Amino acid sequence: MPVERAPEAVVFDLDGVLVDSFGVMREAFAIAYAEVVGGGPAPFEEYSRHLGRYFPDIMRIMDLPLEMEEPFVRESYQLADRVNVFDGVPELLAGLDRDGVRLAVATGKSGPRARSLLDRLGLLGRFRYVIGSDEIARPKPAPDIVVRALDLLGVPAERALMVGDAVTDLASARGAGVTAVAALWGVDDEAALLAERPDAVLRRPSDLPALWGASGVPALSRSIGSAVPDGKSRA
């Protein structure tokens, strides 16, 4: 799916792409599990394999009580000051905004929680829209959230990129017809993400503008379909 020139829009996942929230997720999940389920170790490793999905959907997949959502969200709010922005992300967003690229967030979080976190971190104003999984009919891996972002931005799918760190992000992007870009800076299991053969691979936020030339001559069109031909990133 070559991009002939710089994109008009970039849709970002939130956790693991813009912000490092993994430690907070782990602690909030452990507290919620202890409160609702009881003793024993919280199965966070299994939970982490489903990141990118809406929390209630993960609970259904794992056959855990939906009642875990309330304490998980409560603790996530209380621990939000421990969430950090990844190095290079503020500069990336500022550069894209300066170049007139329209930006949105499509996240597995609820919309209010995502907007609250981005506001706390001083990033909310960079995005025209922040869409949560509670604000669309079918969360990731369905394409609905990406389609909604593009509709709001007024940009056709062929002129947009989706940047995510999970298999569900890539599936959602492809279902919406946009270029699926894998972000590896917050990923523990690169192999699982690269096995999905993303259209392009980024190892640091500053790699994203390198996918296209300032004059509109595409680097991305040359890398699509060949970014990970042998399961290894060449970004």
Instruction: For the chain, list the strands marked E by DSSP.
Output: 9-12, 19-20, 84-85, 102-106, 129-131, 160-164, 179-183, 200-202
At residue 28, the pLDDT reads 96
Q: What is the dihedral of CA 12, 125, 89, 144, to 10 degrees?
A: 0
Percent of the chain with pLDDT over 70: 89
Whether 151 is catalytic: no
Q: What is the mean pLDDT of residues 185-197?
A: 91
The predicted pLDDT at position 228 comes to 35
- Read off the pLDDT of residues 39-53 as tens digits, 9 standing for 90 and up: 889 999 999 889 889
Mapped onto helix, strand or coil, the DSSP state of residue 132 is coil
At residue 212, the pLDDT reads 87
- Are the CB atoms for 36 and 30 separated by under 8 Å? no
pLDDT by residue (tens digit) across 45-85? Answer: 999 889 889 999 999 999 999 999 999 999 999 999 999 99
pTM of the model: 0.87
State the average pLDDT for the chain: 89
Q: Where do the H-state alpha helices sit in the chain?
A: 22-36, 44-48, 55-62, 69-78, 89-98, 111-120, 144-153, 167-176, 190-194, 220-223
Kindly name the residue from 15, 20, 144, 207 that is annotated as catalytic. Answer: 15
Cα–Cα distance measured from residue 91 to residue 78, given in angstroms and rounded to the nearest whole number: 27
**Hey, how many other C-beta atoms are within 10 angstroms of the C-beta on 154?**
10
Pick the more confident residue, 2 or 101: 101
Through-space distance between the first and last CA atoms of the chain, rounded to whole angstroms: 17
| Angle CA 150–151–152, to nearest 5 | 90
Which of 13, 57, 144, 165 is flagged as catalytic?
13
How distant is the alpha carbon of residue 198 from its chain centre? 14
Q: Is 13 a catalytic residue?
A: yes
Q: Please count the CA atoms within 13 angstroms of the CA of 234 that sit on its side-chain side.
A: 16
Strand 84-85 relative to strand 19-20: parallel, antiparallel, unpaired?
A: antiparallel
Confidence of residue 188 (pLDDT cuts 50, 70, 90): confident
- Give the chain's radius of gyration (CA, Å): 17
**pLDDT digit string, tens, across residues 198-234:** 999 999 999 999 998 633 334 443 343 334 333 332 2
Q: Cis bond leading into 198, ω under 30°? A: no
